[in-house]
Structure 1
């Protein structure tokens, strides 16, 4: 082979290697979500905020493409799809996977509890920073949580006024998850298992009288069209979603990009909590107007009085036993759910 041919071949090889290196550095990651792009709620809005921030903070070197509305994986499929590498990022509705994620479902066993949206997210951040078992639970499934998305503060949206525990006797209240069935029974009402998507019709047709929910979500699902009483039962914020990554994708990032993701997870919680609070305040103003939803206070002491109920205690003990069995000091952690303990 002539010298020119050798040089030309070497130049082509170098160009190919350089091109591959550039391609490896300029990544487009895939985010799979159940949320519709046009939902216009805090979850969809802040997902787009995070995606935009990721591109900005990496100087345009990396980007995230969002596959909205379950187009790649449905709600119940997302953990498995993420673990298999079908997506790099995704949001997981944690309470849907109690057997896979018992530790990360801690808050769901302790309703009512005193923390708001931001505080619940900070609690989860603290758990992951303090107790490696929380992260290991996900790592065993090839997942990594880089952020947390709690739900808003919850009360009860009802089709009739409720002013005390006495008014709850005999009501049919939508139930789901761990704590709600026993809590509803302790309040003298009947728990009814209804999916979120079916609750509008259930309220409209008097299949249920109330559903636990916050103002922003009530407006988002339009439940407030058929239920006109919002009862300020201090249930606290529920933990909702993990902002998760495929563990291999996370570990495969360079240190700089991984640091961006880590910080974005923390910043996301603050931005999300701000948007949720603004949205809830906006809805409350709408309720005062044409929507005509009456907000009714509820005596906190009556709600807290049912915490001594055997069924409520049983649910809480269930998580304590699971956590202790996994080597986590549950007795210390559950103090955070005490209404007399500062968050």
Structure 2
């Protein structure tokens, strides 16, 4: 018995260091510090003074820092200092920046399906419905789009639309007849097709080159959002605006991570970030586009005439919209997308659902919009 007791005491003494170590480890885990804070570079070719930055992107980056209690923060490098608008996709993918803004239309070779979203400008009528539609297309409705993003190693958090486009020129304009024969600087092919429908000559122009093109007489007009008059310094060059709604640019991803940088964020914080997105979508289009449009129009209307467009311009717009589905399918065939027609049909159907069925249910109601967007999009996609 004495031998058994002695052996038992020996085993207890032998166990003590392990028990003590386990206890110390448990205590350490109980008081372990939170995950280390991490700062990410955010790159964009959009001018620093743009409302898209100051009232759109930067507030969302601040909200991300807040909801993660500073574990995720950003160093914004704007205005093309690290990545330009055309090469931003490559810069994000290759880790030149951790995150940033890119437009799918400038990466059509790498993103032949996703960049179709950028070609749907002519289908957009309401900014909120357009915002909902393009997010649903990318994150839920288009598997080919998601596969492209995954293969490229990038993680977009939301898609962006803007406010309705307007035609603005270096002289007063008010009608379709006033525009006939003029040259128009256009950013995308939908705007070029619309300019052609108006009897204008489209000239594909980078957004940052529109001002010198107008100043030097290389073009007479451009088709962009009203607030961009201020964002891109056109206040003293534009002399007339037709602000009849002429489609809504879509297809930009204003906050995108490369896969490695997104992977540095704890899963719990990733979930917190995604939880911000339904509200961020509403705030983005409201604060970065619709309110600045109204402010710029109010500020400039005393010296720049704003016209609603005449009956002929409205008639041509209706005809133009009717032909856009065929134009999208032709583009998909040019890209040799075997299932292009079916993909376009699904994309168009999503636009119609958001504009015809969902818009009447949430119009003007932010809470309802957020609920619909979360239910249909952000609760379904495993970011």
Does the alignment reach a TM-score above 0.5?
A: yes
Q: Does 1:286 align with 2:299?
A: yes
Cα distance, 1:293–1:339 mapped onto 2, change above 3 Å: farther
TM-aligned CA deviation for residue 41 of structure 1: 1.8
Contact 2:240 2:306 in 1 (8 A): yes
Alignment of 1:127-146 (within 5 A): 127=137, 128-146=139-157
Q: Establish whether residue 192 from structure 1 lines up as the match of residue 203 from structure 2.
A: yes
The Cα shift of 1:320 comes to 4.7
Matched with 1:332 is: 346
Mapped partners of 1:217, 1:151: distance in 2: 11
Superposition deviation, residue 336 in structure 1 = 5.0
Which residue of the partner structure matches residue 306 of structure 2? 295
Q: What is the aligned partner in structure 2 of residue 92 from structure 1?
A: 102
- Aligned residue for 1:173, secondary structure, equals strand
Listed as ranges, the matches of 1:223-242 within 5 Å are 223-242=234-253
Structure 1 or 2, whichever has the larger Rg, is 2
Distance 1:206 1:233, change over 3 A: farther
Show CA shifts across 1:190-232 (max 9, x none).
Answer: 1123332332233234332210011111122232312221112
Count residues in correspondence.
323
Shift of 1:247: 1.7
* 8 Å Cα contact 2:123-2:247 kept in structure 1: yes
Tell me which residue corresponds to 2:222. 211
CA contact (8 A) 1:173 1:190 kept: yes
Q: Return the alpha-carbon distance in structure 2 between the equivalents of residues 142 and 70 of structure 1.
A: 22
1:155·1:234 contact (CA, 8 Å) conserved in 2?
yes
Deviation per residue, 1:244-273 (Å, 9 max, x gap): 111233244322111122123333221111
TM-score normalised per structure 1:
0.82
Q: Which moved more, 1:49-58 or 1:295-304?
A: 295-304
Deviation at 1:56, TM superposition (A): 1.0
Identify the residue that residue 105 of structure 1 maps to in structure 2: 115
Structure 1 residues 102 and 120, CA, compared in 2 at 3 Å: closer, same or farther? Answer: farther
Gap runs ≥5 in structure 1:
1-9
Q: Is the 8 A contact 2:120 2:249 kept in 1?
A: no
CA gap 1:55/1:110 in 2 versus in 1, 3 angstroms: closer
Residue 41 (structure 1) aligned with residue 51 (structure 2):
yes
Is 1:229–1:294's contact at 8 Å kept on the other side of the alignment?
Answer: yes
Residue of structure 2 equivalent to 1:250: 262
Distance in 2 of aligned mates of 1:68 and 1:340 = 33
The partner residue of 1:65 within 43, 54, 75 is 75
Partner of 1:79: 89
- Summarize deviations over 1:150-193 as a string: whole Å, max 9, x none: 23210100123444333332111112322233332222111123
SS at match of 1:90: strand
Q: Which residue of structure 2 aligns with residue 6 of structure 1?
A: none
Match for 2:61 among 22, 38, 51?
51
Partner of 1:7: none
Equivalent residue, structure 1, for 2:280: 268
Contact 2:116 2:328 (C-alpha < 8 Å) held by counterparts: no
1:68–1:187 distance in 2 versus 1, CA, 3 Å: closer
Q: Which moved more, 1:312-321 or 1:185-194?
A: 312-321
1:327 positional shift: 9.1
CA distance in 2, matches of 1:170, 1:340: 36
Kept after mapping to 1: 8 A contact 2:123/2:321: no
Q: Secondary structure at the match of 2:123?
A: coil
Shift of 1:281: 0.9
Match of 2:14 in 1: none
1:155 is paired with a residue whose SS is strand
